[in-house]
Amino acid sequence: MSAFDIGASDDRAPAPAPYRRIAVVGAGSWGTALAIIAAKAGRGVTLWARRDDHARALREDGRNARYLPDVNLPDSIRVTSNLAIAVEDADAILMVVPSSAVRETAKKLAELIPATTPVILAAKGIEPGSGLLMSDVAAEELHGNPMGALSGPNFAGEAAAGHPTACTIASDCGELFDTAPAETVAARMAVAMGTESFRPYISDDLPGVEVGGALKNVIAIACGIATGAGFGANTRAALITRGLDEMKRLAEPLGGRRETVTGLAGVGDLTLTCSSEASRNMSFGLQLGQGIKREDTFDGKPVVVEGDRNALSVTDLARKHGVHLPICEAVRGILHEGHAVSDAFAMLWGRPIEGEPRALVELEIGHPHARRARWHFEEILS
């Protein structure tokens, strides 16, 4: 057996039927990258851009000069700013818009697509006010369409350029995973998107996958703040590890599984986003930690930082379910409640000492130097 023959053919599940025509709704960096990947996988792809001038530039330049300038668009990709044309005859929709635009976009799609067309979201977040995950937001506006999510440790430029990349695709197909897994939305989309360098994995845990995507941006801001403030790898590793625990805590009351969060959509995405300035959330936090005023980050340019918005919605939802997320609460305090960075870190490091994992060691004792934590961080960050 060669290194490429993974398992005997008769042990494999029946090959799913891939979606052949895919509409990618959203022409930012990740939407463009997914359109390129789908085209390389042999799918018929239509890419929708919200603005006419953006769509025109994509067609004329043959690349996304603003968001993904280093990768050319395959000639087979059709670009349009007309949403009706984009989704016409599509077998599946990839919705790749900011989390704040999911509801509005889903409402428009409801008028254009049949209820049988699956909608797979690449948006990550929790809606303020409602506390809904993105698939639930979209589902409220659609007409019973099958829902899914695509998530994982992916920088758009690397994925589009053919660097080895993996993701998780989850769908809400319920018992179909037990009776006919190859017919699930997740399996069919995985086969539709898989290329020699883009490797999807399949999940039936839609809320677990989505929780990971929502929280990782908030934790990345915390890591950025710590790095910008001058703290090193020890601090970042602690924030990533304990941030993963916060993901697990919130996933369970929303119907997700803790083990899902240890996969690509959880710890994978978390590690990537928290470890590189190429992440907008990490970069945003880094600038704040360096003392740059919020309005002056990114040289004053308007940049969508999903974790900024989600710091509120994530903690609101956690409070509703009685779940304490100390790192997310610290980020909320810094971004939205005027807390000093020193106070936020004093709170994190001065909290009562707990067991790890808490589920096995039910223990909480007062920290012996909790009062000194505030003084320490004020001095070290002054």
Q: Where residue 326 sits, what CATH number does that domain have?
A: 1.10.1040.10
The answer to the question of whether 30 is labelled as a binding residue is yes
Q: Is residue 338 over pLDDT 90?
A: yes
The answer to the question of whether 269 is labelled as a binding residue is yes
The answer to the question of whether 29 is labelled as a binding residue is yes
Could you tell me the residue range of the domain that residue 57 belongs to? 13-204
For residues 380 and 377, give the distance between their C-alpha atoms in angstroms, rounded to a whole number.
Answer: 5
Share of the chain above pLDDT 90, in %: 85
Q: Is residue 14 over pLDDT 50?
A: yes
Helices (H), the chain: 29-40, 52-61, 83-87, 102-110, 134-141, 156-160, 176-179, 185-193, 206-228, 233-251, 258-261, 269-273, 280-289, 306-320, 326-336, 341-350, 370-380
Same domain, 252 and 306: yes
To the nearest 10°, report the CA torsion of 83, 134, 255, 258: 110
Q: What is the b/e burial string over 195-219, where b = at least 16 CB atoms within 10 angstroms of the residue's CB?
A: beebebbbbbbbbbbbbbbbbbbbb
Burial class (CB in 10 A: 0-12, 13-18, 19+), 227: buried
Whether 354 maps to a domain, the answer reads: no
Same domain, 140 and 276: no
Share of the chain above pLDDT 70, in %: 95
The answer to the question of whether 28 is labelled as a binding residue is yes
Tell me which of 204, 227, 255 is where a domain ends: 204
Residue 216 is among the residues annotated as catalytic for this protein:
yes
pLDDT at 360: 61
pLDDT 10s digits, 33-79:
999 999 999 999 999 999 999 999 999 999 999 999 999 999 999 99
Let me know: does 305 contact 273? Beta carbons within 8 Å: no
Tell me which of 185, 204, 223 is where a domain ends: 204
Same domain, 63 and 188: yes
Nearest to 61 by CA among 89, 32, 21: 32
Same domain, 184 and 303: no
Number of domains in the chain: 2
Same domain, 126 and 20: yes
The answer to the question of whether 378 is labelled as a binding residue is no
- Tell me what the mean pLDDT of segment 249-264 comes to: 94
Same domain, 172 and 32: yes
Q: Is residue 368 over pLDDT 90?
A: no
pLDDT at 114: 97
Average per-residue pLDDT in the chain? Answer: 92
The answer to the question of whether 279 is labelled as a binding residue is yes
How many alpha carbons lie under 13 Å from residue 39 in its C-beta half-sphere?
A: 22
For residues 133 and 137, give the distance between their C-alpha atoms in angstroms, rounded to a whole number.
Answer: 6
- The encoded tokens of residue 272 equal 């990537």
Q: Is residue 254 over pLDDT 50?
A: yes
pLDDT at 11: 58
Confidence band (pLDDT; 50, 70, 90) for 1? very low
CATH of residue 136's domain is 3.40.50.720
- Tell me what the mean pLDDT of segment 181-210 comes to: 95
pLDDT at 12: 64
Let me know: does 140 contact 103? Beta carbons within 8 Å: yes
Whether 8 maps to a domain, the answer reads: no
Q: Is residue 380 over pLDDT 70?
A: yes
- Tell me what the mean pLDDT of segment 144-149 comes to: 97
Nearest to 98 by CA among 29, 51, 190: 29
| Per annotation, catalytic residue among 216, 248, 293, 301 | 216
For residues 284 and 278, give the distance between their C-alpha atoms in angstroms, rounded to a whole number.
Answer: 10
The answer to the question of whether 89 is labelled as a binding residue is no
In angstroms, what CA-CA distances link 257 with 25, 204, 249?
29, 10, 10
Q: Is residue 370 over pLDDT 60?
A: yes
Q: What is the b/e burial string over 29-52, where b = at least 16 CB atoms within 10 angstroms of the residue's CB?
A: bbbbbbbbbbbbbebbbbbbbeee
- Taking the model in full, what pTM does it have? 0.91
Same domain, 264 and 249: yes
Whether 362 maps to a domain, the answer reads: no
The answer to the question of whether 349 is labelled as a binding residue is no
Q: Is residue 361 over pLDDT 70?
A: no
Tell me which of 159, 185, 204 is where a domain ends: 204
The answer to the question of whether 314 is labelled as a binding residue is no
pLDDT at 358: 66
Confidence band (pLDDT; 50, 70, 90) for 314? very high
The answer to the question of whether 67 is labelled as a binding residue is yes
Q: Is residue 365 over pLDDT 90?
A: no
* Residue 275, amino acid: S
* Residue 205, amino acid: D
Whether 344 maps to a domain, the answer reads: no
Give the number of other Cβ atoms within 10 Å of residue 347's Cβ: 18
Q: Is residue 20 over pLDDT 70?
A: yes
Range with lowest mean pLDDT among 19-33, 74-88, 276-290, 346-360: 346-360
* Residue 310, amino acid: N
Same domain, 166 and 300: no
The answer to the question of whether 216 is labelled as a binding residue is yes
User: Furthest-apart CA pair in the chain: how many Å?
Assistant: 65
Q: Is residue 366 over pLDDT 80?
A: no
pLDDT at 9: 46
The answer to the question of whether 346 is labelled as a binding residue is no
- Tell me what the mean pLDDT of segment 247-265 comes to: 95
Spacing of C-alpha 204 from chain mean position: 17
